[in-house]
Amino acid sequence: MAPTILIVGATGNTGRSVVETLPELLESTNALPGHRIIALTRSSQSPVAHQLAKLPGVEVIEQNWVGITADWLREHQVARAFIASHNDPNQFAEESAFYVAALNAGVRYVVRISTTAANVRPDSKAYYPRTHWAIEALLSSPEFADLQWTSLQPNVFSQFYLASAAQWIKQYRKTGEQGTLKLMASKDAPVGIIDAYDVGVFAAHLLSQPEPTAHNRAKYVLNGPEDITGKQIVSMVEQHIGTRAEDIRYQDMSFVELLYEHNHAGTRQSKNVILSIKNAPETAWEGKCSTSTTSKEVLELAAPKGTPAEVLRALLEE
């Protein structure tokens, strides 16, 4: 069996572009001859999985990544891996288990998705950035010296940041009535939101490097090509509807309450922990998440391209 590059969450918002980008990079550079790609998904029958299975050198396998063991990794000869974990409260337990398995299986290099760089700290008010900080601390320990890794710290995904604006436009077009336009963004703070697809493209460039040592233990900050403020989002919305938006609510995080009720209320998860997500955008509202923070390596290897206007148009076409 050939050495394998494992893509965990291959049909997700970043994993898909990793799988779509990687085969072409491997073929054009011939840096990793003989390597194959395993695209891991929980549903091999999904339309996206069927599309990925048609790519050269890609094998789609249906497997929940949290059940992966060192034996599984050895059996599939995994040499490199990409992982975009969930961010539920048990993330640390499950993601760290994957790295322990990778270490013991002799996996050489892992690229992982973290979260907004300004939030990755032990005193973050939101719970999940503390998890990412703890995982990066674990990987930085001497015990994990044999496992090379790069942690990507992307800004908030454009698709998520602009979702409420897209839904508001669709509803207006359908009914002709304006409800409240609720935006996570503050009115004036510039934020370098990033197309999720571009994050996967950059990860694919890292995974295709003939020698990853230069990127070992690196934490790269990723932003989109341009900043956007809440006021500018409103301007885009008004361009799409051809009239003025009458009722706008900035810095709105009310959706977190709905997230708890729909996904966690029936579980044993702490409501207090889940609701701490409301604090996550504070660093953006303070102006700490602009494009000026982008790592130079990101711009050199695969500069993000998707603009907020392009992402909004794509959301409206869905």
HEC profile for 154-180?
ECCEHHHHCHHHHHHHHHHHHHCCCCC
Cα→Cα distances 109→11, 42, 126, 145, Å: 21, 23, 29, 11
Distances (CA, A) of 246 to 13, 188, 241, 254: 32, 18, 12, 19
| 243-253 residue pLDDT tens | 999 999 999 99
Counting residues of the chain whose pLDDT is more than 90, the rounded percentage is 94
- Which 8-state DSSP code applies to residue 201? H
**Alpha helices of 91-195 — where are they, by DSSP H?**
91-105, 127-139, 158-161, 163-175
Q: What is the pLDDT of residue 30?
A: 86
Q: CA dist 224 to 69, 229, 288, Å?
A: 35, 13, 14
Answer whether 298's CB lies under 8 Å from 224's CB: no
pLDDT exceeds cutoff 80 at 36: yes
Task: Tell me the pTM.
Answer: 0.96
What number is the average pLDDT over the span 150-170?
A: 98
Q: Which CATH architecture has domain 4-155+195-223+291-305?
A: 3-Layer(aba) Sandwich (3.40)
- The per-residue pLDDT for range 49-94, each reduced to its tens digit, is 999 999 999 999 999 999 999 999 999 999 999 999 999 999 999 9
Residue range(s) occupied by CATH 3.40.50.720 in the chain: 4-155+195-223+291-305
Residues 256-301 pLDDT 10s: 999 999 888 888 889 999 999 999 999 999 999 999 999 999 999 9
Two tokens, residue 107: 């996996």
Average confidence (pLDDT) over 101-107 = 98
pLDDT in tens, 191-218: 999 999 999 999 999 999 999 999 999 9
| Packed helices 163-175 and 230-241: angle between N→C axes, nearest 10 degrees | 30
Query: 189-217 burial, b for 16+ CB within 10 Å, e for fewer?
Result: bbbbbbbbbbbbbbbbbbbbbeebeebee
